[in-house]
Amino acid sequence: MHKTNGDGTVEAEEFFIQTPFFRFAAKRWGNRNGLPVLALHGWLDNAASFDGLAPYLPDIHLVALDMAGHGHSDHRPPGVKYHYLDYIDDVIAVADALGWEKFALLGHSLGAGISSVVAGSFPERVTHLVLLEGIGPMTKEVDNVCQSLSRSVLQMKRYLDKRTVVYPDFETAVEARVKVGDMDLESVRVLVQRNLIETEAGLTWRSDPKLKAGSPLYMMEEQVTGFLNGIVTPTLLVTADKGLSKRFLRMKARIACVKNIRQQVLTGGHHLHLDDPEPVAKLVAAHLI
């Protein structure tokens, strides 16, 4: 069962997962005999994204991953891009390393897109699916493929030479992160705390700068549809009334592709599971338990 701190909060176990090619950092909460759930965070976030949800889900075995290049996990080698489909290999490798033949997926934003593709591709392994503010990966129209590839190549060259931003203290780093995302201040602090490393010059980000380079090749919408059509597991989609998904024009069409899906809209922004976790956790618990 889970441990608690003196203030009543749930204590997470920090650990590493070794796969054939990478070492991933992770946080673990809950009942080791409960339903195994792998949680995948959003772009440039980390495993702390699920710190708020975990205390409300004590009956499941929740493992939140620092995805490749994020948090305390390994970076991809120099010159190697963060291509979307490589995350699918990572998820399966992590599940195998944990000894999980069957498991549930809980994904936010980028993590929700990855979870969608894994669930569609490995329906025999994914028992439940929870998507927060995302369903399927980003796509580009066929007319943009040349531009996307050239931009990605040039961005990779720039990030090889780009100097790392250094901050004099924690609060300055927090202020920088606040400017690029619509998120409660305390939520920002939770994510930033896990994503900083101390150097002689000051504090800097742990995340790989190459993560900011665009994908060399995006999927077409027809390909995403194929993955969504392959999802057979019971699926919960939670979106925020002020979130990014509200502005996604293809949301209804994508939802219609999933055979067994239920959507719930909650008040909040894109990081609603961290800003106000209890309402999200109630939906997640009812879906998983």
Sign of dihedral through CA atoms 276, 240, 269, 110?
positive
Which residues have a Cβ under 8 Å from the Cβ of 15 and sit 6 or more positions away? 25, 26, 27, 28
Residue with tokens 């024009």: 249
**Integer Cα distance of 158 and 173 in angstroms:** 22
Catalytic residue among 109, 152, 207, 245: 109
Q: In terms of DSSP bridges, do strands 126-132 and 36-40 run parallel, antiparallel, or are they unpaired?
A: unpaired
Please answer whether residues 1 and 55 qualify as being in contact, where contact means their C-beta atoms are separated by less than 8 angstroms. Answer: no
**3-state SS record for 129-150:** EEEECCCCCCECCHHHHHHHHH
Please answer whether residues 216 and 155 qualify as being in contact, where contact means their C-beta atoms are separated by less than 8 angstroms. Answer: no
Which two tokens mark 118? Answer: 């894994």
End-to-end distance of the chain based on CA atoms, in angstroms? 16
Residue 109 annotated in active site: yes
Which residues are marked as active site? 109
